[in-house]
Amino acid sequence: MGDDFDPETDIDWTGDKSFRSGFACFVGRPNAGKSTLTNALVGAKIAITSSKPQTTRHSIRGIVNREDSQLVLIDTPGLHKPRTLLGQRLNDLVRETWTEVDVIGVCLPSNQPIGPGDTFLVGEIAKLPKKPKLVALATKTDLVSGDTLRKHLVEIQQLEEKLGISWETIIPCSAVAGEQVDVVADELVKLLPYGPAFYPDGELTDEPDETLVKELIREAALEGVRDELPHSITVEIDEMGLREGRPEDKPLLDVFASMIVERDSQKGIMIGHKGEHLREVGTRARHQISALLGTPVHLDLKVKVLKDWQRDPKYLNRLGF
């Protein structure tokens, strides 16, 4: 298998030339399908998805284990025009990730024309002093006709000359419909350097359970809210652990968590009439947490106000941003 040795990426590795390992991240405008594709490749829900812009706020690592390779996918926030200190920090996180990965997959949704946001994003990657390999992913192919897709693929190809970049490959795919997801994995793996596995076989993410639980609660909270509220919501785990005194075959995970908003009016919306909205969020989150961790869950959820937390360095540090 060592006949496709790439001196640029593989020169430092003197070990086994039959195993590839490395890091890739997906970039794209909000709702381009980055988190959905990450989950489809990993085969488990490790990144939350929502129609709300800037849903992803942390770099979540998903691990794709194969016999001949280990692909580590980093799901990052979308690059956007920051309006708060939080927004600035998320953009810094994205740019930092670009410098650490072997491959960047640029998600360009097939159901939307390539716009200024896409060209800005790819242009920013083109400015990197040491560029990762670039793959174009024409996502959401299940939403368009063949003619629309063909036109979209031509537009993607034209970005090479326009922005001075070079695509290693262009792949039409749909994570929702399962179209060409395996091809995406195959092509990303081909671009990784030779090297040993970074994580034990079978591991799907290196995120602590607490981080995943916080994200699933936030995903449940984002459903059905509108305007500025999605950006104002974050989640803090106050306490989490298996309940003592339970039989081994009947565990129960206790999760005490706070949804944090910026204003009292937002707190009222999150609680809802007679606590109805808070109960709905709790039920949705509890089912998702239980499915992910494989354990029945008791979720105690409350809402707290931290005034303008997105703009306050003290709050951002406390909340892990």
Which parts are annotated binding residues for GTP? 28-35, 75-79, 139-142
Beta strands in 144-198 (DSSP E): 167-172
CA atoms within 13 A on the CB side of 215: 23
What amino acid is encoded at 295 in this protein? T
Token pair recorded at residue 11: 């020169």
Q: Which of 28, 165, 25, 188 minimizes the C-alpha distance to 108?
A: 28
What amino acid is encoded at 275 in this protein? G
CA 112 to chain centre: 20
Rounded to 5 degrees, φ, ψ at 241 are: 175, 160
* H/E segment holding residue 149: helix 146-163
Rounded to 5 degrees, φ, ψ at 60 are: -100, 130
Q: Helix (H, G, I), strand (E, B), or coil: what is residue 312?
A: coil
Extract the annotated binding site: 28-35, 75-79, 139-142
Token pair recorded at residue 293: 């961790």
Angstrom distance (rounded) from CA 201 to CA 1: 21
Q: Which of 257, 263, 276, 271 minimizes the C-alpha distance to 306?
A: 263
H helices within the chain, ranges in order? 7-10, 34-42, 85-98, 116-126, 146-163, 181-190, 209-222, 229-232, 264-271, 276-293, 313-318
Which residues share a beta bridge with 255?
240, 299
Task: Work out the number of other CB atoms within 10 angstroms of the CB of residue 305.
Answer: 16
